[in-house]
Amino acid sequence: MSKKAADHHKKASEHLTHAARHHTEAAKHHEAGDHEKAAHHAHTARAHAAHARDHSEEAAKVHLGEHGKK
C-alpha cells in the first residue's frame, strides 16, 4: 500500500476516534440536561465522521489508481 493511501486510512481512523469521543460527550451532556453542549458535541462528531468518510474515499481512489479496475 502506498504511503498516501496509508495516510488517508490513518486520518480516517483518527477522525472516527474523535467522533466516538464527541458522541460519548454528547450522551453525558444530554443525560445531564445540558442540551446545548450535547448538540455541540453531536454536531462535532458528525463533522469528524464526514471527514473520515472523505479520507476513506480518497484512500480508495489511490488504491484504484495504483492497481486499476479488476
**Cell of residue 48, nine digits:** 469528524
Q: Which pLDDT score is estimated for 60? A: 93
Looking at residues 16-41, what average pLDDT do you find? 98
**Cell of residue 49, nine digits:** 465522521
Q: Who has greater pLDDT, 68 or 66?
A: 66
Query: Which residues, at least 6 apart from 30, have a Cβ–Cβ distance to it below 8 Å?
Result: 38
Task: Tell me which H or E stretch contains 34.
Answer: none
Sole residue written with cell 490513518: 10
Instruction: State the Cα–Cα distance between residues 42 and 61, nearest whole angstrom.
Output: 29
Q: Residue 70 pLDDT more than 60?
A: no
Every domain of the chain and the residues it spans: 3-67
State pTM to two decimals. 0.86
